[in-house]
Amino acid sequence: FFFVFLISGMALLKERTSGTLDRLLATPVKRSEIVYGYMLSYGIIAILQTAVVVLAAIWLLNIEVVGSLLNVIIVNVVLALVALAFGILLSTLAKSEFQMMQFIPLVIMPQLFFSGIIPLDSMGDWARTLGKFLPLTYSGDAMSQIILYGRGLGDVLPNIGVLLVFLVALTILNIVGLRRYRKV
């Protein structure tokens, strides 16, 4: 989540600050096509990166996976795509690379606490409620179910569904967010 978020956010921010995005938005290309292009190109990189990280974590750290390794990769790929959309969205809000880096403690760190490292049941009501609005909560639960208990994709489908809702919502927000950079 962290690496994909950072790489995608910095990439679009660099395009914007260098003027490339302004030139692209001056053409008849639709904002949605720009967002889908970024999602496709960086999505492929995110998928490869996810597979490498998951396989390295399992084999190098000798993590025992009770469930299917393919299911672990599928959940992580969906999460990587959510992180990609999240990074692009926040890069439309940031004015510089420094400001993008400031989003890390505001966006990434709280999500880590809700990813399953600390059980949500042990947190206060406000924290449990907040956790329901963060993608790492659902991916952490899905990963725990697959890795620890051997559950299949059908069992974690509600978590994957919520991650897909995050993906669609963030993609729509990205398309709307690019409106502010289109010169009329």
Per-residue model confidence (pLDDT) at position 26: 83
- Dump pLDDT digits (tens) for 99-141: 888 888 888 888 887 776 777 778 788 888 888 888 998 999 9
Per-residue model confidence (pLDDT) at position 162: 97
Domain that holds residue 114: 2-181
What is the tally of structural domains in the chain? 1
Find the radius of gyration of the CA atoms of the chain: 17
Determine phi and psi for 88, rounding to 5 degrees.
-65, -40
| CA nearest to 100, candidates 111, 89, 85 | 89
Residues 6+ away with beta carbon under 8 Å from 66: 146, 147, 148, 149, 150
- Dump pLDDT digits (tens) for 72-94: 999 999 999 999 999 888 888 88
Per-residue model confidence (pLDDT) at position 182: 60
CB atoms inside a 10 Å sphere around CB 128: 14
Q: Whole-model pTM?
A: 0.86
| CA nearest to 39, candidates 90, 70, 101, 83 | 83
Per-residue model confidence (pLDDT) at position 183: 59
DSSP structure class, residue 66: S
Residue 37 CA to residue 43 CA, distance in Å, equals 9
Residue 117 CA to residue 65 CA, distance in Å, equals 17
Determine phi and psi for 29, rounding to 5 degrees.
-65, 135
Rounded percentage of the chain residues whose pLDDT exceeds 70 = 97
3-state secondary structure of 123: coil
The better pLDDT of the pair 137, 161 is held by 161
- Dump pLDDT digits (tens) for 28-74: 888 899 889 989 998 998 889 888 988 998 899 988 899 999 999 99
Residues 6+ away with beta carbon under 8 Å from 144: 116
